[in-house]
Chains A and B, each alone.
Chain A
């Protein structure tokens, strides 16, 4: 096996991992701590790491401060799911075509997709706004879904294409010889074998959709009932004060369902990202 490290090396490795994890997780931890403190204690000086007035009061109050909070959470999940679903509908056949078929301008168009990926949505906000306005999509769910799909398709194609290319061509040839059409082969042979890849791509797209919806929501949507959570969190910023503890509580609550799903998908994610890397 590979674990031929000395004690000293192991200590170093674990120290590095610890520093890294603290760096990543500290904000979440601080969010959680902030959500537990009463508002008036948040800015107490000197900073107190532990106090005995921790409570889950903010988790109860937040629903009253922002009555639409539940709606926002549902909107967030709905928008991200819709973006993911629509993106996959476009990505699966496109990635299959890029993996298997030959057509003119194939490599060129792939390069363009990669180029598009390098723009953030922010650069294109104004043209997108005009497009959405002329299509009459402003202030609807579509205003947040359509741009999301558009920006995530290239990434999805790149990810899934490389996965599909690893499926042996002979399997498809065998299906072809047995009379199966391309679509039948895709449905019965390729996609079942690509399930880990589909889950990886679906997850990546979902995360992307979740992350980018804030920008599109605050630019293209004025309807309160349609806002996703990241935009809805603004409502914790009042005229007088910001209820930070409730905002943190709401943010954590909003992330929770997604985190639970990822915990279950974790094994596919790891398997999918490394599948085919080693000859079995």
Chain B
């Protein structure tokens, strides 16, 4: 019912250009997450969709209608703010009812709607309290309640979980995913936390410096990052990037020499590089195993988390390398460690940071 289309949105503040020609098509009932480092323009983009900022150029279509200059209410959006933006002098009931009061909705209908929202969010027994008397998670739910009473077509969330502590954030992630399923609405969610993006999103937009780096499903971004930026942003711990030199390349693979001298043949589309080119090989920490015949690292710091052991070390010539090994791995700080990785799991980025697409990847990474 409510698709959201951005057509070449650009935004400048004075001479500073913060968004460059952004085009996205978000499907009906999709949960899309904008993720990126601070200052990448993700919040500005959300505010433009909300109608709080005006785009310098470009068009916004919601449900097929051009709403580029429409008032937020006429766009059919509602927004949950980072600070919740609850009215401290009004009760929870009046906070949730606020958008309906603005519409001068008739009392009985208003009450039904507020009660309905409250019961979805388990706030029924909190309705008479003031926001100051609620916990962080409850305030968050009131803010969501205020956004759902109006039955908007598109929900916008601006880093709604960043003020919560880690445990609560995990719970709210699950609640938000359930809410998305029960409301069946289009949602756009801004965060700088890639875990929130990976766990909740149907599709993720990775923004960097006002550009869309990649738009795809979480697994697509994980297995087929289009750029070095996406590769290192998605995944925890971050992907290792090891400088390498191409010693041979054709359409079916690239032979590289890693810094330190280890040679590998990687099954990626090698058409764009030639012998002697400098590239970077990306290896995810979780794809590394202990074993001979690979490259040795010296272990500096070992973090045993129980299920996994995160190992931070350096390659022969000082390049940092992180490996995520089994919880009981026989590793010791200060000791050398031999690691291997299967060539299919490696990513290769050319000098400009663009990926040479991998030939093989799990089926789950297929375009969503």
**A residues touching B (Cβ–Cβ < 8 Å)?**
168, 170-171, 173-180, 184, 188-189, 192-193
- Whether B98 lies near A178 (C-beta < 8 A) is yes
For the complex with contacts A177-B73, A179-B103, 17 further pairs of A-B residues with Cβ separation under 8 Å are: A168-B85, A170-B81, A173-B85, A175-B102, A176-B52, A176-B72, A177-B50, A177-B51, A177-B78, A177-B79, A178-B73, A178-B146, A179-B99, A188-B87, A192-B89, A193-B87, A193-B88
Given contact pairs A178-B102, A179-B102, A180-B102, A189 touches B87 in the complex (Cβ within 8 A): yes
B71 within 8 Å of A (CB atoms): yes
> Which residues of B lie under 8 Å from residue A175 when comparing CB positions?
98, 102
> Which residues of A lie under 8 Å from residue B82 when comparing CB positions?
170
- Whether B89 lies near A193 (C-beta < 8 A) is yes
> Which residues of B lie under 8 Å from residue A177 when comparing CB positions?
50-52, 72-73, 77-79
B163 within 8 Å of A (CB atoms): no
Given contact pairs A176-B72, A177-B77, A170 touches B51 in the complex (Cβ within 8 A): no
- Whether B102 lies near A168 (C-beta < 8 A) is no
In the bound complex, CA of A280 to CA of B72 (Å) = 31
Of the A-B pairs whose beta carbons lie under 8 Å apart in the complex, a sample of 27, sorted by A's number, is A170-B81, A170-B85, A171-B85, A173-B52, A173-B81, A174-B81, A174-B85, A176-B52, A176-B72, A177-B51, A177-B73, A177-B77, A177-B79, A178-B78, A178-B99, A178-B102, A178-B150, A179-B72, A179-B73, A179-B102, A180-B98, A184-B102, A188-B98, A188-B101, A189-B87, A193-B88, A193-B89
With both chains docked as a complex, state the minimum distance between the C-beta of B240 and any C-beta of chain A, in angstroms: 40
With both chains docked as a complex, state the minimum distance between the C-beta of A183 and any C-beta of chain B, in angstroms: 12
> Which residues of B lie under 8 Å from residue A176 when comparing CB positions?
52, 72
- Number of B interface residues at 8 Å Cβ cutoff, please give it: 23
> Which residues of A lie under 8 Å from residue B101 when comparing CB positions?
188
Q: Is chain A's binding surface mostly helix, strand, loop or mixed? A: helix
B56 within 8 Å of A (CB atoms): no
B112 within 8 Å of A (CB atoms): no
> Which residues of A lie under 8 Å from residue B51 when comparing CB positions?
177
Q: Which 6 A-B residue pairings sit nearest by Cβ, starting from the closest? A: A179-B73, A178-B99, A174-B85, A170-B85, A177-B72, A192-B89
In the bound complex, CA of A192 to CA of B98 (Å) = 14
Interface 0/1 of B83-115, CB less than 8 Å to A: 101011100000000110111000000000000
- Chain B 33-53 interface residues, beta-carbon cutoff 8 Å to A: 50-52
> Which residues of A lie under 8 Å from residue B99 when comparing CB positions?
178-179
In the bound complex, CA of A179 to CA of B71 (Å) = 8
In the bound complex, CA of A257 to CA of B51 (Å) = 51
Considering the complex, give the chain A residue whose CB is closest to the CB of B52. A173
- Whether A168 lies near B83 (C-beta < 8 A) is yes
Given contact pairs A176-B72, A178-B150, A171 touches B102 in the complex (Cβ within 8 A): no
> Which residues of A lie under 8 Å from residue B150 when comparing CB positions?
178
> Which residues of B lie under 8 Å from residue A170 when comparing CB positions?
81-83, 85
With both chains docked as a complex, state the minimum distance between the C-beta of B54 and any C-beta of chain A, in angstroms: 13
In the bound complex, CA of A173 to CA of B158 (Å) = 13
With both chains docked as a complex, state the minimum distance between the C-beta of A45 and any C-beta of chain B, in angstroms: 62
In the bound complex, CA of A192 to CA of B50 (Å) = 26
